Amino acid sequence: MDAPYLDPSRGRQKAPGVFSRIVRLIGMAMFLTGLAMGCYAGLRWLETGHSTATLINDVVAAQLPDRAQAWIARPRSWYGLHRVVVWVLRIPLFASVAFSGFLILLASTASGRK
């Protein structure tokens, strides 16, 4: 009696491609960089007693066009959007970098399982 044919690829998952590996590496690097920046900001806060963390506003606001900067300073319309934008601009940079890296890492891991 012959043994049944076993498919050699059965039970094995395909290795992730180069693009998937690069995306995971970028996500991991962003996440770890955000954590390191957060640890440094926390250490400086413990040492000095006040927060010196860089905010998104410190990085983004200078790069915006003059009309956008004027709208952030004094809105004349879209007041609800202004409140959301101001809230986002006050988030510490380390938190946004770590959260973005985590989302990229999570998305690349979930897409690799399909």
For residue range 26-62, list pLDDT tens digits in order: 999 999 999 999 999 999 999 999 988 899 999 998 8
> For residues 42 and 57, what is the distance between their CA atoms, to the nearest angstrom?
19
Task: Please give the pLDDT value at position 83.
Answer: 96
Sequence spans of domains, the chain: 17-54+93-114, 55-91
pTM: predicted TM-score of the whole model, two decimal places: 0.74
Task: Please give the pLDDT value at position 17.
Answer: 83
Share of the chain above pLDDT 90, in %: 71
What's the token pair of residue 59? 């990085």
Q: What angle do CA 53, 96, 73 make, to 5 degrees?
A: 70
Alpha-carbon dihedral angle through residues 46, 51, 56, 62, given to the nearest 10 degrees: -130
What is the DSSP code (8-state) at residue 10? T
Number of Cβ within a 10 Å radius of residue 11: 7
